[in-house]
Chains A and B, each alone.
Chain A
Amino acid sequence: MSSNKTSRIGEEIWKTRVDKVNAELVTLTYGTIVAQLCQDYDSNYQDVNKQLEKMGYNIGMRLIEDFLAKSGVGRCANFRDTADMIAKVGLNSDTLKGARIVDISQVGFKIFLNVTPTVTNWTSDNAQFSLIFEENPLADFVELPDDGRAQDELWFSNILCGVLRGALEMVQMQIEAHFVSDVLRGDDTTEMRVSLVRYIEDEMPPEEE
């Protein structure tokens, strides 16, 4: 599946099926959440990262649910239906096993944040890849605390790892995701590393030959 096609699909869904809100409202609200967590956890950034991931996981699951509900099929009876539905809106991959993950990831982030991360750095077994975020609205306006630790310990946008994990779990893929770099830390890119852990149960539609 070409990346062109994926982004066209993402664009199409974004235009026709997603209710919009001012992006800055999302940005600013997210900022207050992270700042609040840092305060509550007394700048224990590892705990903040974990909490953000958890929040993202809940959101990812609900996003897929909500998206499917709006697509006109109502709540899906089971995971298999969910996966079928995803396929119907154009996300079926007919090539690599891993391609489906990246398609869903890209389209998912388009729906969630109106950004399309670039997919790169595949491992040879197609079980790991990276998402590069050229744009990250969550981090707009943000400068990390100059406390000598935040830039080494806090993953400001860690909620995105959770969102992806939650969303993919809804279509029966268990993944692990973590950031490996972030421009807020002074890195040149914002990169998330994603690994496929396993397909949940044996209910996936068979791959087409």
Chain B
Amino acid sequence: MHKIFQIFQVYTYVLIYPWTLLAKSSPLITHVISQTPANSPDGLSLHTSTLINRDRPKMSYYFTILSPSDTPLFNIAFGTSKGGGDGIARFRFPETAQYMNQFIIHSSLDILEEAQWTNGSMYLKHIDTYPPAAAYITAFLTPSGARFLLLHQPPHLPSSTGSSGLGASSLLGSAGSTTRASSSSIAANPTSPQTEEAVRQFMNEVYENYVKTAMSPFYKQGMEIKSPVFRTRVTAAGKKWL
């Protein structure tokens, strides 16, 4: 039964979603072109938070759970809570963050699948970087094949004004490219051992709640996780560790 169901799902996606894609992709790109250089609301709110704590730039996070066949089961965006952060995500391109984050995460799946069979750990740490958006991807794999992916995006620092132009042009140019940059220049380094440890704790806590979800006899693999309690738990884990 489950197998029939999965095949059915695949066909549904193939048949339906290319239409969604065509409908949504063009406004997405125009937004990127026209909005990015200005980007004022983002810069403004960022400024406020830098005033509170200059030393600890606030990270924006996008966390998603994918089924073994890449069906999205859950996603949430939040920001740094540690060191006086307000827990609110401020992605660099707020208008398109939702789509860009998903795009970036999905473009890291090939790397994830490779890592999956060379490293048996559940927590695979930082697996991928997407330089045009300065986005870092960290992964955790449950033994039953669900993928937890966390995208971190450090804030657009006011000092580095030059990079916003870079973001706009290379965002389109390198969408399909495989360029990966080193991350050593980032103020709050998403690949530092401290960050990896904090993310590990976060992932473990989400995993515990995921297992609780999956243990219910009415939860079937691949079902979207809609429980508001689950969402609250993930939010709390984010507050606690990130």
Whether the complex brings A and B within 8 Å at their CB atoms is answered yes
Question: Which residues in A have some Cβ–Cβ distance to B below 8 Å?
Answer: 28, 31-32, 34-35, 38, 141-146, 150
Residue positions of B touching A, CB distance < 8 A: 212-213, 215-219, 226-227
Please state if B227 and A35 are interface contacts (CB–CB under 8 Å): no
Contact B227 A142 (CB under 8 A): no
**Within 8 Å CB of A150, what residues of B?**
218
- 7 new A-B contacts, CB < 8 A, other than A32-B217, A34-B217, A141-B217, are A28-B217, A31-B217, A141-B215, A142-B216, A143-B216, A143-B219, A145-B218
Residues of A within 8 A of B226 (CB): 146
CA distance A38 to B215 in the complex (A): 17
Chain B, residue nearest A146 (CB)? B226
- Which residue from chain B places its CB closest to the CB of A34 in the assembled complex? B217
**A40 → chain B closest CB, angstroms:** 11
Question: Distance in Å from the Cβ of B205 to the closest Cβ of chain A?
Answer: 18
A146: which B residues are within 8 A, CB to CB? 226-227
25 contacts between A and B (CB under 8 A): A28-B217, A31-B216, A31-B217, A32-B217, A34-B217, A35-B217, A35-B218, A38-B218, A141-B212, A141-B215, A141-B216, A141-B217, A142-B216, A142-B217, A142-B218, A143-B213, A143-B216, A143-B218, A143-B219, A143-B227, A144-B218, A145-B218, A146-B226, A146-B227, A150-B218
Residues of A within 8 A of B215 (CB): 141
Among B212, B216, B227, find the residue whose CB has the most chain A CB atoms closer than 10 A.
Answer: B216
Instruction: Select the residue from B212, B215, B217, B219 with max chain A CB neighbours within 10 A.
Output: B217
User: Whole-angstrom distance between the alpha carbons of A41 and B217 in the complex?
Assistant: 16
- Inter-chain CA distance A150–B217, complex, in Å, is 13
| Residues in chain B near residue A142, CB distance under 8 A | 216-218
B227 contacts across to A, CB distance below 8 A: 143, 146
Bound complex: CA A146 to CA B216 (Å): 12
A30 and chain B: residue at smallest CB distance: B217
Nearest CB in chain A to that of B226: its residue: A146
Nearest Cβ on chain B to A49's Cβ, whole angstroms: 16
Q: Which chain B residues border A145 with CB–CB below 8 Å?
A: 218
The 6 closest A-B pairs by CB, nearest first: A31-B217, A141-B215, A35-B217, A143-B216, A145-B218, A142-B216
